[in-house]
Structure 1
């Protein structure tokens, strides 16, 4: 329970009034685990979902002649969402530290990538740095928010987690490659192989409701990358930003972007590990599935 905020403890207590009635085995027990897994994942995504909802809402209904530019409204709305997450105890101050890191790392990448034409932002606004509106940092923060919330809500533990200095070097090389591949050899495929080699033996343990599960960490990286890609498609449809091949009309983001998001997961893991050092499995909580 210590891994929950006060609000989450209240929700957890209320949920147990119903969930504790579920049988210990059989189809209903499996269904209960599945539903709880989905609800926890949705709760972990609450920051990103709120930002995405604002993007879609303003895409559909924000007036073109509004006195406040849409981009500035998005910055203010994202800031309100972030403050609400802390004020209403949906996020801890400890977690806020890693989210700020995601802001810094993401904004640095945005400034460079927009300058070289990898993607671009439309619209006017005052709350921007160069061609990058400040709401862009909150989209990276949404990934950070999800990562830290999943870590504590599912009580993540890791079998054979590699040494953190190795993961830090690998994440640093990935971040550098996001910039350097515009000028020299693109090492992304070598880096993808390196991730598999470094994390290939690592297994993640997580608790849903009554059961504790195991999953290869590389598979978890890929699954999260897929969901980020889906969110990216919604965001580009909402004109949050556009890739060069979308300027003449929106279409699905290339599936090749999954590789970039998979690499970003490595950077994300290292940033989260700064706040929540990876913990080994607890002998009292053996994985059952």
Structure 2
């Protein structure tokens, strides 16, 4: 006889994961539908932005997202938009369709794709009552996060240090574990492993996004194909920035509540 408790725990864990993915699903669902159904009187990129703003408003009004989480999402939207503008200007990828809400060739909705990572982080942190042990502190984590973000810009002019930075991640966070709770049971896993898992699933989502023309890499202009497996390393590093910001904000808020 199959024990029911592990199965029930898995169902609860899956439910919270799914609820935490509402905003990312909204993004990719909107991209998919808008690529198949022509929207009258408005450019596709503009329509996507309007829909995503509406989704964010409804999530806030319904209580699915808190005001603090909205503020974190806005920070990530800005961080992502700045990176997108720079990357498009360097020819890393492009947004070929027209739109009134494009800034320097980048549609404003693109920042939401980065913000969706923050939305997931905030949601899952709250739903699974997450905490961390062995957090390296603001100095180590902040400097590493800043160096990772800076490397996304500088590798166009100087050597790419992503693999060195990846190694430093395992050094800085080797004692850091995620503590999470499903019903009355507490679990834990190494934070670095969580980085890898989330980075892999974002890479899968990136393939979905490029398939529905959310953006295009230079080698996808003629025909779509899978995004390079090596891109997982980029998402791995981006997830680290997300976790550092969210975790530090949670630590600050917890300290203020004492």
After TM superposition, is the score higher than 0.5?
Answer: yes
Q: Name 1:44's counterpart in structure 2.
A: 20
Distance of 2:160 and 2:227 partners within structure 1: 20
Q: Number of paired residues?
A: 253
Which runs of at least 4 in structure 1 moved beyond 2 Å after TM superposition? none
Residue 31 of structure 1 pairs with residue 7 of structure 2 = yes
* Structure-2-length-normalised TM-score: 0.95
Q: Name 1:5's counterpart in structure 2.
A: none
Distance of 2:244 and 2:50 partners within structure 1: 29
1:170 Cα deviation after fit: 0.4
Q: Name 2:106's counterpart in structure 1.
A: 132
* Structure-1-length-normalised TM-score: 0.85
**Aligned partners of 2:138 and 2:248 also within 8 Å:** no
Distance of 1:278 and 1:59 partners within structure 2: 42
**Aligned partners of 1:114 and 1:120 also within 8 Å:** yes
Q: Name 1:227's counterpart in structure 2.
A: 201
Higher Cα radius of gyration: 1
1:30 Cα deviation after fit: 0.4
209, 212, 216: which is aligned to 2:183?
A: 209
Q: Name 2:38's counterpart in structure 1.
A: 62
177, 182, 196: which is aligned to 2:151?
A: 177
Alignment of 1:105-184 (within 5 A): 105-184=79-158
1:274 Cα deviation after fit: 4.1
CA RMSD of aligned residues (A): 1.5
Give the gaps of 5 or more residues in structure 1. 1-25, 281-289
Give the gaps of 5 or more residues in structure 2. none
Distance of 1:264 and 1:278 partners within structure 2: 21
**Secondary structure at 2:251 match in 1:** coil
